[in-house]
Amino acid sequence: MSGNPDFDLYQPAEEHEALREAIRALAEKEIAPHAADVDEQERFPQEALDALNASGFNAVHVPEEYGGQGADSVATCIVIEEVARVCGSSSLIPAVNKLGTMGLILNGGEDLKKQVLPEIAEGKMASYALSEREAGSDAGSMRTRARKDGDDWILNGNKAWITNGGISTWYTVMAVTDPEKGASGISAFLVNKDDEGFGVSKTEKKLGIKGSPTAELYFEDVRIPGDRILGEEGTGFKTALRTLDHTRPTIGAQALGIAQGALDAAIEYTKDRKQFGQSISDFQNTQFMLADMAMKIEAARLMVYTAAANAERGFAPGNQKLGFMAAASKTFASDVAMQVTTDAVQLFGGAGYTRDFPVERMMRDAKITQIYEGTNQICRMVMARQVIGK
């Protein structure tokens, strides 16, 4: 891959390693102690939000000119990875803040950026509203509508599976503005939680990431100013796809962090656990399992960081491989996370099946990384089209 000019191989930088040390220390001190309770009580991890806001790690991707840190995509992935290592739910704070604002950064007007992005940098949250009950992988069949009314837009419809729905202040919403044009008739808008007619109608009961609310949103004649459209009318679906090219590596980073947390727990446990007069880490079959887990994680890390490094080039035209690498890194890392967390539970034996240890939570949290921001089957379709050249 190093000989391909379309790719920039990830090379670790000193500032990235320093960032990892800082966010890991914060995560272990301020976030990890609450992770089990957040999962058990199915409550939002307010402690994590407070700690991330206080340290500036809540939305490191926001450019400096809007009050953020202007961190590159690799740095953003490191933050998400290290938070996910101790709490998958909490890692969705920085991850979804990027997802919810990426369309604005890529395609929004300057005045709107100045209004919204400083609020996100200061601690408010953003979410992304693309999916509907009957329009998940087939996002082009969405039914949410937006019609022009003078200088304003009027939104009606529903969105489903919205991460951090009901907690966020701002929502990037995809809606049909011209039903006759299919995907080319979809536009992107920014909706504020206080806009009249906007609300949350349902919060899902989930297998994992229980501390991050997944909600259904409704829009009943929600009137928003005309300048809250992102880009030109009809460019919303393109904005959605460009957003995913930049944010799928962050889901890869979340999966990577969950897998690393499970491996770390498994190493510690197998060293302490005694059977047949010795630590089970002394048995060759245990060592082979741990070696395979570590090998897969390192491969996933290289893919995720390489994809993130390429995302920086994605702001300029000509990076034809960004979509492939974004989808590939998310798919590979999430598959690895599911494999590694399952093996971690196995290494814990019966104890791994209980809530006394974190690996069962990590296995449950890992599953969603294979599903959201494009199921791994959809991501493989994206990759195949790149490979075939369609």
Phi, psi for residue 60 in degrees, rounded to 5? -70, -15
Do residues 354 and 298 share a domain? yes
In this structure, the answer to whether residues 116 and 207 fall within a common structural domain is: no
Determine, yes or no, domain membership for 2: no
Our count of domains for the chain comes to: 3
pLDDT value of position 12: 67
pLDDT value at residue 140: 80
Residues 156 and 208 in one domain: yes
Q: Identify the pLDDT of residue 6.
A: 46
Tell me the CATH number at 304: 1.20.140.10
**Residue 3 counted as domain residue:** no
Question: pLDDT tens digits for the chain (390 residues)?
Answer: 333 444 445 566 889 999 999 999 999 999 999 999 999 999 999 999 999 999 999 999 999 999 999 999 999 999 999 999 999 999 999 999 999 999 999 999 999 999 999 999 999 999 999 999 998 888 888 999 999 999 999 999 999 999 999 999 999 999 999 999 999 999 999 999 999 999 999 999 999 999 999 999 999 999 999 999 999 999 999 999 999 999 999 999 999 999 999 999 999 999 999 999 999 999 999 999 999 999 999 999 999 999 999 887 755 444 568 899 999 999 999 999 999 999 999 999 999 999 999 999 999 999 999 999 999 999 999 999 989 886
How many Cβ atoms sit within 10 Å of the Cβ of residue 3?
5
pTM above 0.85, yes or no: yes
**8 domain residue, yes or no:** no
Q: What phi-psi label fits residue 3: left (phi over 0), alpha (psi between -120 and 50 degrees) or beta? A: alpha
As a whole number of angstroms, the distance between CA 45 and CA 143 comes to 33
Phi and psi of 294, rounded to 5°?
Answer: -65, -40
| 243, 362: one domain | yes
Catalytic positions are: 373
Give residue 114's pLDDT: 98
**Do both 185 and 303 map to the same domain?**
no
Instruction: Tell me: do 245 and 318 sit in the same domain.
Output: yes
Residue 95: inside a domain, yes or no?
Answer: yes
Domain-ending residue, one of 204, 232, 260:
232
Q: Are residues 338 and 246 in the same domain?
A: yes
For residues 49 and 139, membership in a common domain is answered with no
Q: How many CA atoms lie within 13 A of 290 on its CB side?
A: 20
7 lies in a domain?
no
Domain range for residue 211?
Answer: 127-232
What pLDDT is recorded for position 324? Answer: 93
Output the DSSP codes for 5-58. Answer: TT-------HHHHHHHHHHHHHIIIIIHHHHHHHHHHT---HHHHHHHHHHT-S
Query: Do both 48 and 82 map to the same domain?
Result: yes
Residue 339 lies inside a defined structural domain of this protein:
yes
Residues 247 and 368 in one domain: yes
Asked whether residue 111 is assigned to any structural domain, the reply reads: yes
CATH of the domain at 114: 1.10.540.10
What distance in Å separates the CA atoms of residue 174 and residue 130, rounded to the nearest whole number?
5
Q: State how far the Cα of 45 lies from the Cα of 89, in Å rounded to an integer.
A: 7
Q: What is the DSSP letter of 278?
A: E
Chosen domain end from 232, 253, 284: 232
Among 343, 285, 333, which residue's Cα sits nearest to residue 306? 333
Indicate if 247 and 120 belong to the same structural domain.
no
Helix (H, G, I), strand (E, B) or coil at 146: strand
The pLDDT score that the predictor gives to residue 319 is 58
Q: Are residues 264 and 251 in the same domain?
A: yes
Q: Which two tokens stand for residue 165?
A: 């729905």
Domain-ending residue, one of 200, 232, 264: 232
Q: CA-to-CA distance for 274 and 208, rounded, in angstroms?
A: 31
* Inside any domain, residue 49: yes
Instruction: Look up residue 330 and give its two tokens.
Output: 């998310």
At residue 314, the pLDDT reads 58
- CA–CA gap between residue 70 and residue 114 (Å, rounded): 14
Q: 360: which 2 tokens?
A: 């069962």
> How far, in Å, are 161, 187, 205 from residue 215 at the CA level?
6, 22, 10
No. of helices (H) and no. of strands (E), the chain? 11, 10
- Is the distance from CB of 250 to CB of 98 less than 8 angstroms? yes
